[in-house]
């Protein structure tokens, strides 16, 4: 993982509406964006950043690229991602919501073959507070520190970060896994990344009802993660059996073949309890649990 101040970032779709809105904010934050790509806009400059028609042309001019932030509309994400991976760029962040599922299947197959880390789609991206903003995170919610945030929800990530920031507890990184039905990297991948990250002392996992992501994460934490993990789950008040959720995140257990209870709030709470992971019942309760975990680590 090289989401750091010394990395080289390319924004694909820099001339798109999202690019014109968020690229200046990222540049102002200090994000090392060295080039942009928007086919047909080559030769222009956006927020002081040179724009190219192709990723290959950008690399020939500015040198190596570590991360591509993709801001194009959902039906253009596949081509952008494949072009970036063909250029051997190892980290992709997909912001768009509603990328066609079969496009994501193709992206993930290629990502597996090329050992590319994919964040998103339908993701606010990644922020390393005080260093790098890659996406749409509101930077004012974050404070540099030692707590890593991994989340399925964009807005809940901001709320949790703000609660920690107000309590004086800084964050080492915040990652939005994405809210579409098929996403790139998983809780397990990021748990392992943060387990190996020297700056991260504790991890906050922000989950939702639907699917089995949290149950699988709980099992993985019990088996492979030594750093303290604290969880928050959204969906306590959803009526049982109600098929609704965050951009299709709720998949009925019968269709998924996971058993009638997998995906419910009770199933996830049980999984975290079995893994001895403390769970806050609201974001405002997280700072106390996180501080307790940090105190244990530091003593």
Q: Which of 137, 152, 181, 246 is catalytic?
A: 246
Long-range contacts of 157-165 (CB under 8 A, 24+ apart): 157/124, 157/206, 158/124, 159/283, 160/204, 160/206, 160/232, 160/283, 160/286, 163/283, 163/284, 163/286, 163/287, 164/204, 164/286, 164/287, 164/290, 165/141
Q: Among this protein's residues, is 8 annotated catalytic?
A: no
- Coil, strand or helix: which one is 10? strand
First to last CA, the chain: 29
Nearest-angstrom CA–CA distance, 64 and 138? 28
Nearest-angstrom CA–CA distance, 132 and 30? 6
Residue for token digits 């990652």?
175
Residue for token digits 């995170």?
137
> For 190, which DSSP code?
H
Nearest-angstrom CA–CA distance, 123 and 155? 10
Nearest-angstrom CA–CA distance, 116 and 268? 29
- CA dihedral over 83, 84, 89, 94, signed as positive or negative: negative
The residues that are catalytic are 246
């Amino acid at each position: 993982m090289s989401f750091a101040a010394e990395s080289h970032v390319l924004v694909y779709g820099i001339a798109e509406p999202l690019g014109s809105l968020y690229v200046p904010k990222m540049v102002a934050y200090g994000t090392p964006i060295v080039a942009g790509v928007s086919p047909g806009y080559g030769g222009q400059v956006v927020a002081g950043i040179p724009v190219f028609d192709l990723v290959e042309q950008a690399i020939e001019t500015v040198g190596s690229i570590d991360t591509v932030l993709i801001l194009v509309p959902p039906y253009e994400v596949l081509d952008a991602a494949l072009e970036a991976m063909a250029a051997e760029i190892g980290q992709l962040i997909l912001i768009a919501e509603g990328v066609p599922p079969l496009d994501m299947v193709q992206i993930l197959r290629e990502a597996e073959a090329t050992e590319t880390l994919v964040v998103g789609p339908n993701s606010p991206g990644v922020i390393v507070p005080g260093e790098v903003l890659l996406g749409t995170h509101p930077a004012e919610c974050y404070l540099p520190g030692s707590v890593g945030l991994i989340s399925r929800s964009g807005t809940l990530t901001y709320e949790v970060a703000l609660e920690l920031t107000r309590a004086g507890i800084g964050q080492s990184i915040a990652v939005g896994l994405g809210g579409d039905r098929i996403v790139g990297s998983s809780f397990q991948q990021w748990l392992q990344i943060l387990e190996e990250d020297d700056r991260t002392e504790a991890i906050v996992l922000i989950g939702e009802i639907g699917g089995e992501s949290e149950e699988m994460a709980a099992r993985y934490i019990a088996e492979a993660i030594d750093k303290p993990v604290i969880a928050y789950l959204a969906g306590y008040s959803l009526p049982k059996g109600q098929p609704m959720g965050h951009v299709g995140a709720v998949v009925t257990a019968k269709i998924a073949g996971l058993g009638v209870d997998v995906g419910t709030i009770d199933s996830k709470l049980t999984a975290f309890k079995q893994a001895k992971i403390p769970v806050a019942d609201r974001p405002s309760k997280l700072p106390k649990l996180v501080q307790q975990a940090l105190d244990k680590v530091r003593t």
